[in-house]
Every structure is written in C-alpha cells, then in structure tokens.
C-alpha cells in the first residue's frame, strides 16, 4: 500500500506536459500510449498485488472457519485510506474486484451446477465484478453502497459487516455506518481519513461494553437446540427421514432444512402427516414450490392431512427462480382454528445474504430467526459457513437469536426448558 501511495505522489510531481514527454519517450515504445496512460508500467505490479491481497483477505474472511468475518472487509478499509486523487481509481478498482470476485465465483459455480450455460455465467460474472468495482472506485464506497440498496437481491452488500463494527445498534446501525463512511471519504488528507477510520473501529468494543456481551438480549431464551444429522445414513429417503424423527420425543417441535420435499409430492406429504400424527410431533420444513422458490410448511395433528404453509420466500436468484423485486409472502398468519401461529421470522437460503430481508427481520421485532438452507449446489465452497458468519454478525447487530437448519447437515429441536410453542 505504501509503495502505491509513494508512486501516486511521484506522479503528481511529474505530470505529462504535451510534446516534451512524447519526445522523451523510450526508443521502440509507443509515444501515444505513454502519453495517455495514467499509470507508468512500474505501478502495474503493485496494483496487481493489491488485487491478490484483496482476494486472499476476502477468501479468508468468507470461507475460513477461524478467520473473523470482518477480515473480508479490510480491502474497503484500505480503499478508504487512499486520498481523493484521480490516480486512485485503478487502485480502488483492484481492491474492490478482489472482494467481489468471491461472491461472483460462488454464485457462478452454483449456477453451473444447475446446468446453466457456462459461457454466459463467466461473461455475466466478469461484467458484474468489473462494473461493481469500477462504480465503487468512481462514485465512492458510501454512494455505491447506497445505490445497491435498490437491488434487494444483491448478495454482497458491504453493510453485511455492520454487526462487527456496531454491535447492538440495530437497523439504525446500517445508516450510521453508511454516513460514517461518507464522512471518511469527504476528507482529503490521509491523517483525517485514518483518524476517522480508527474511531469507527474503536466503537465495537465500546458498544459491547455498553450493551453487555455480544450474545443476543432481546430473545434471552433459546427456543431451539441444533442437532447434527450429518451422520444419519439410510438406504432410502424415507429411511433417512425416519432416523431423523427418531431423535425427537413426543411433543417436540422439529425444523428441517430447505427443499426437503416438493409441493406436488403427494406421497411424501401423506407419509409426513402419518408420521407426525403417530409420533405426536410438529414438523416445519422447507418445501420447493412450483416457481422454484422455497416455502415453509407445518405438519402436525392440527394441520394434517393438508399441511399449512407458514412462509413463502420473498427473494430468490433473479432471472433463475425469482424477479429483481421481493415477492409478496401470501402464507396465512392464522391457524385453522383462528389462533395465532407462534413462528419465528424465517429466511430461506439466498435470503440470508439479502440486506433487505435482514432489515425486515430487525423491523419485525422478532426475538429469534430461523434460516433454512440446502448448500449442495455450491459444494465445495463453504457456503454454509459463510451464511453462518453473516447471520452471526446480524445476530450481534439486532441482538436476537439466529438458528440454522441445513438439509442433510443439521436440524432444530425444541430446547430443554423452552416455552411451549
């Protein structure tokens, strides 16, 4: 970083001055290229190294278990420290490209596993990374991040890290971080930018001290225990389901992951209704709807033989299984007997990366949320780990409990001592 800044100052002292620079060009070189290039060849290597550094930091923060999630956002901190000069745009673009490359890689790989055209995937991902990175360099981080709020399905908003910087601040913390970043970018000097950035980083331990431990406070009681089902093996799908249900006791609530069954699999629906009635358990699971978006259905003695839809995913993958704007959740909010259904705030798979859905959770006043997921399409990328890192930051920001049910990996069961639901 120091090398790049030093080169930037040298460039400022030696600006091209018309024909004299063309005359002084090295023999065998293209004079017009040297006269028009904003960076001398000596800077290409440092800029590329910053791109690689950004890739490494983001990959570690996203996909390495012991690395803090905030590590992935160090490239944004470095970009904020670069004074406002015309030649900084290439440096910031490289830093941003190294960060946004990872969401593009994971998303593109998932689409390839779903058998979409690989040429179109590579082209679309490349264009998306370049446009996004260049926009952040030209418009600034604060303005670009604010503009991205117009895309509810955008899965890589820089504001996802807010919970690491402003724990306990709630939805208001998102706006606070945006304004703070804008204030940093308004400073022209390195010292002023660095001072404001250090003040921002110092707020996290201070807020933790004010609000107490990072554990959620609004939902003080843990409703569910997470159980590991990755070791459940069976020759048939129904055998697998049976072994999962064997881990529940009468009266338990069980939550399973995304896309456990499809909405038109009547044999599976009949089997689940029969099992919950015989075992006296309530099961809520992810169901794939006809549009490809996920839903949550409730199976118990009150709802069967026709399970009750509790939630329909509002955000999916644009142009794959959803549009660019959130869909309406048309699931009923009342049970068949008119009583309120005491369910958590639901997020399904891709929604856990949508800033819009997290804002919705914060505004709902819910004391806990449940994320249903099924990540086999993005293997070997550790998408489940990344989702849990994002959720942990929002749990700290909103001070609520977040639970996870991953198909074939984990399920949720009523916690010991939890109130009846």
The residue ranking higher by pLDDT, 267 or 213, is 267
CB 368 within 8 A of CB 399: no
For residue 43, the model assigns a pLDDT of 66
**181 and 135 share one domain:** yes
Q: Give the Cα separation of 296 and 347 in Å (integer).
A: 10
Are residues 92 and 168 located together in one domain of the fold? yes
- 53 and 96 in a single domain? The answer is yes
* Whole-prediction pTM: 0.83
The whole-angstrom separation of Cα 237 and Cα 239 is 5
Q: Could you tell me how many residues make up the chain?
A: 421
> How many CB atoms neighbour CB 18 within 10 A?
8
* pLDDT given for residue 15 in this prediction: 45
Task: State whether 149 and 281 are in the same domain.
Answer: no
Q: Please provide the average confidence, as pLDDT, over all residues in the chain.
A: 83
User: Checking phi first, is residue 319 left (phi over 0); if not, alpha (psi -120 to 50) or beta?
Assistant: left
Query: Which of residues 187, 211, 235 is at a domain's end?
Result: 211
pLDDT band at 313 (very low <50, low <70, confident <90, very high): very high
Q: Taking the mean position of all CA atoms in its chain, how far away is CA 108? A: 15
Region 359-366 average pLDDT: 86
Claim to verify: residue 248 and residue 326 sit in the same structural domain? yes
Residue of 247, 289, 314, 286 whose CA lies nearest to 371: 286
Does 379 reside within a domain? yes
Last residue of a domain, one of 177, 211, 245: 211
Note whether 197 and 305 are same-domain residues: no
Contact 369, 136 (CB under 8 A): no
Confidence of residue 1 (pLDDT cuts 50, 70, 90): low
215-219, 220-224, 324-328, 413-417: which has the minimum mean pLDDT? Answer: 215-219
Distance between CA 19 and CA 361 in Å, rounded? 61
Q: What is the pLDDT of residues 111-150, one digit of tens each?
A: 998 889 999 999 999 999 999 999 999 999 999 999 999 9
219 within some domain: no
If you average pLDDT over residues 324-352, what whole number do you get? 66
pLDDT recorded at residue 137? 94
Domain C-terminal end among 211, 240, 264:
211
Determine the pLDDT at residue 203.
Answer: 81
Q: Are residues 173 and 230 in the same domain?
A: no
* In-domain check, residue 100: yes
Say whether both 204 and 239 belong to one domain: no
Q: Is the pLDDT of residue 287 over 70?
A: yes
Q: Are residues 308 and 278 in the same domain?
A: yes
The whole-angstrom separation of Cα 172 and Cα 182 is: 16
Residue-wise pLDDT tens digits, 27-56: 444 444 444 444 444 467 788 999 999 999
Res. 327 pLDDT band, cuts 50 70 90: confident
Q: Is the pLDDT of residue 194 over 60?
A: yes
178, part of any domain:
yes
Compute φ and ψ for 73, nearest 5 degrees: -110, 10
User: How far is Cα 13 from Cα 164, in angstroms, rounded to an integer?
Assistant: 40
Q: Please indicate, yes or no, whether residues 269 and 230 belong to a single structural domain of this protein.
A: yes
Co-location of 39 and 105 in the same domain? yes
pLDDT confidence bin for 378, thresholds 50/70/90: confident
Q: Is the pLDDT of residue 379 over 70?
A: yes
Q: Is residue 216 part of a domain?
A: no
Residue 106 pLDDT greater than 90, yes or no: yes
**Domain for residue 203, yes or no?**
yes
Task: Find the mean pLDDT for residues 405-413.
Answer: 92
Q: What is the span of the domain harbouring residue 349?
A: 224-414
| Per-residue confidence (pLDDT) for residue 115, from 0 to 100 | 87
| Banded model confidence at residue 364, pLDDT cuts 50, 70, 90 | confident
pLDDT for residue 204: 74
Give mean pLDDT, residues 54-69.
Answer: 95
Question: Do 231 and 180 belong together in one domain?
Answer: no
Structural domains in the chain (count): 2
Average pLDDT over residues 191-208: 84
**pLDDT tops 70 at residue 154:** yes
Sorting pLDDT into bands at 50, 70 and 90, what band is 209?
A: low
Is 371 within a domain?
A: yes
Q: For residue 421, tell me if it sits in a domain.
A: no
């Amino acid at each position: 970083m120091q090398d790049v800044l030093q080169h930037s100052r040298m460039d400022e002292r030696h600006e091209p001055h018309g024909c004299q620079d063309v005359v002084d060009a090295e023999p065998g070189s293209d004079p017009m290229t040297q006269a028009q290039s904003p960076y001398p060849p000596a800077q290409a290597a440092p800029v590329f190294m910053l791109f690689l550094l950004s890739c490494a930091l983001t990959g570690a923060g996203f996909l390495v278990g012991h690395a803090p999630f905030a590590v992935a956002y160090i490239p944004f901190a470095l970009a904020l420290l670069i004074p406002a000069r015309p030649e900084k745009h290439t440096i910031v673009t490289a830093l941003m490209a190294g960060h946004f490359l990872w969401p593009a890689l994971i998303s593109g790989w998932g689409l390839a596993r779903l058998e979409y055209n690989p040429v179109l995937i590579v082209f679309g991902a490349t264009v998306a990374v370049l446009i996004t990175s260049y926009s952040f360099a030209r418009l600034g981080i604060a303005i670009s991040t604010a503009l991205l709020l117009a895309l509810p399905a955008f899965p890589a908003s820089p504001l996802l890290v807010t919970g690491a910087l402003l724990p306990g601040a709630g939805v208001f913390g998102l706006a606070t971080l945006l304004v703070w970043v804008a204030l940093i970018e308004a400073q022209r000097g390195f010292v002023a930018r660095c001072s404001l950035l250090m003040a921002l980083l110092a707020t996290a331990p201070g807020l933790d001290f004010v609000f107490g431990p990072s554990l959620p406070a609004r939902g003080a009681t843990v409703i569910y225990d997470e159980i590991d089902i990755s070791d459940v093996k069976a020759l048939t799908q129904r055998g697998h389901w049976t072994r999962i249900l064997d881990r529940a006791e009468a009266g338990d609530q069980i939550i399973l992951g995304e896309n456990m069954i499809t909405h038109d699999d009547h044999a599976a629906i009949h089997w689940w209704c029969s099992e919950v009635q015989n075992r006296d358990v309530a099961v809520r699971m992810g169901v794939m709807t006809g549009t490809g978006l996920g839903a949550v259905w409730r199976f118990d003695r009150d709802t069967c033989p026709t399970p009750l839809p509790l939630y329909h995913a509002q955000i999916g993958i644009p142009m794959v299984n959803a549009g660019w704007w959130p869909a309406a959740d048309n699931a009923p909010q009342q049970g068949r007997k008119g009583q309120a259904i005491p369910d958590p705030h639901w997020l399904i798979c891709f929604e856990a990366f949508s800033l819009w859905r997290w804002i919705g959770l914060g505004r709902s006043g819910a004391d806990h949320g449940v994320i249903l997921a099924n990540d086999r399409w993005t293997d070997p990328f550790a998408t489940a780990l990344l989702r849990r890192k994002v959720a942990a930051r929002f749990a700290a920001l909103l001070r609520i409990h977040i639970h996870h049910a991953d198909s074939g990996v984990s399920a949720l069961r009523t916690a010991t001592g939890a109130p009846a639901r």
